[in-house]
Amino acid sequence: MIFYSTNKKTTPTSLKKATLEGLATDGGLYVPSEIPGFSEEEIELLRDAPFNDIAFAVAKKFNDGEIPDGRLGEIVENCFTFATPLVGIEPHTYIEELFNGPTLAFKDYGARFLAHLTGYFAEEDHRLITILVATSGDTGSAVAYGFKGVPNTRVVLLYPSGKVSRLQEQQLTTVGGNVTALEIDGDFDDCQRLVKQAFMDAELKQKLALTSANSINISRLIPQSFYYAWGSLQLETRHPGKKAVFSVPSGNYGNLTGGVLAKMMGFPIDHLIAGSNVNDSVTRYLEEGRYEPHPTVETLSSAMDVGNPSNFARLRYFYRDDHRAMAADISGYSVSDAETLDTIRAVYDRFGYIMDPHTAVGFRALEKFRETNKPCDEPAAILSTAHPAKFIEAIKDALDMDITLPDRLQEVLDKQKISIPMSADYRDFSSFLSKF
C-alpha cells in the first residue's frame, strides 16, 4: 500500500519508509492512499474470530505484502499477549478494558506493534534507529516497554516536568537500557513541538536515523483500529442487528482516528463520541466548524491535556476537510474535572466499578450523547484507557478510598528515577541529540 502526507507535498511512499520516517518531510502525517475495505463476507468470517486473527486481518490489508504473512503473523502474536475484556455494566453499556498490557494503558497496543515493525525494518537495513517520543503520560511508558531490548533501536522520551502522575513518571524514567527520558520545562505541546522540529531539521536527520513512536506514526495508529474492529463484532454478536457506538477519551486524537479507520473499513460501528476535557479544540470544531486551538490547560485527565492535537490533521484528511461529514460520524463533548470526579463516584455507587479519570471522561461523554440523542438503544462501549491504580490521587479524591497497586506498578515505584532536565528551547534539544 502507498502512503501520502496530509500536506501533499512529498513523494508517496511505502509502509516501511512511512514507519521509519514517522513524520513526512513536508511536516505532514502519513495516511494510506486508500482505506482498505472489508466485504460483508469477510466481516462474517471474522465474527467469532479471536482478537489476534482480527488484528492480523486488518494489519494484512495495510501491509499489502511488504512483510511476509508468516512474519506479520508472528509480530501480531508477540504483540498482543494480553486480554481485551468487554465488561457489561448495563444492558447496553460496556467498558472495553484496554489496560491489560505491560504498562496498564491502551498505548501498549500501538507501541508494541510499532516497536516490532521498527525492529523488523531496522534488522532488514542493518542500522540503528533513534525513536523520538513526546508524551503526556502513558504513551512514553508504553513505548519504553515496547522497545525495551529491541535490537538496533534506541528511544528518547520527552515529557513535561510536573505534568504527569508519579506512577507515569516512574514508568517513564526507570526503564534504562536503550531508553532515555528527558524532563522538559514546559507542557506537552512544547514536547511535541520539539519532536516535530527535530524531524524538520535536515542537518540532524543526516546524522541520525530518526523516527517517532507518537500517534503521528502511521504504524502506531493502524493497530489502534484493531480493538474497535474486535469490539464492534463482539457487540454485534451480543446485540444482533445493532451497530456499536464507541465513546473515546480523546487527547491527541490518535485513539479516535483508529475508530474512524475501523468504521471506514466496514466494521459495524454506528457512531463515535470524542470525550475531551477542557482542552476542547476538536469538540468546538465539531460543534461550530471552526478550528481554533487554545493553550493547554492542566486537568485530572492529564494524558488528554493537548491544546493542538496532531491527529486532527488526519481526521480532516479522511473527511476531506468537510465539517458536516465529520460531525455526522463523530460527536464531541467536553467534561470538566468536577464532572470527572462526580462520574467516578456515580459509577462506583451504581455498579461497584472503579474507573480512572480518562475513562470517566468517556463515560460522561456517552451520557451527554444519550441525553441529546433519544431514543438511543445502540450498544455502546467506553474505551477504558488506563488502570485506575495509575491515578490513585484522583481515585482518593473521588472515592475517599485507597486501591491496591498491581505488583508491576509497585515495583516501578520502588525504582530510582533517572531523567535529564532540559529546557523547551530547540537548540538545547538539538545539541543533545547531536551528541547522543
Task: For residue 284, give the C-alpha cell.
Answer: 468546538
d(CA 276, CA 282): 8
**Beta-carbon count within 10 A of 331 CB:** 22
Q: For 182, how many CA atoms within 13 A lie in the half-sphere containing its CB?
A: 30
Taking a C-beta distance cutoff of 8 angstroms, is the pair 150, 121 a contact? Answer: no
Angle at CA 150, nearest 5°, toward 415 and 191? Answer: 65
β partners of residue 221: none
What stretches of 273-391 show up as alpha helix (H) in DSSP?
A: 281-288, 312-318, 323-329, 337-351, 357-372
**Beta-carbon count within 10 A of 91 CB:** 10
Taking a C-beta distance cutoff of 8 angstroms, is the pair 225, 262 a contact? Answer: yes
Query: What are the two backbone dihedrals, phi and then psi, of residue 48, each rounded to the nearest 5 degrees?
Result: -105, 15
Active-site amino acid positions: 107
d(CA 284, CA 55): 33
d(CA 219, CA 8): 19
Give first-to-last CA distance, the chain, whole Å. Answer: 34
Distance of CA 201 to CAs 58, 198, 270, 299, Å? 34, 5, 42, 33
**Which residue, among 368, 68, 84, has the nearest Cα to 224 in the 3D structure?**
84
**Which residue, among 210, 213, 233, has the nearest Cα to 223 in the 3D structure?**
213
Q: Starting from the edge strand earliest in sequence, which strands make up the sheet with 153-160, in order?
A: 210-212, 129-134, 153-160, 179-184, 420-422
SS3 347: helix
Taking a C-beta distance cutoff of 8 angstroms, is the pair 9, 28 a contact? Answer: yes
**Which residue, among 226, 236, 237, has the nearest Cα to 268 in the 3D structure?**
236
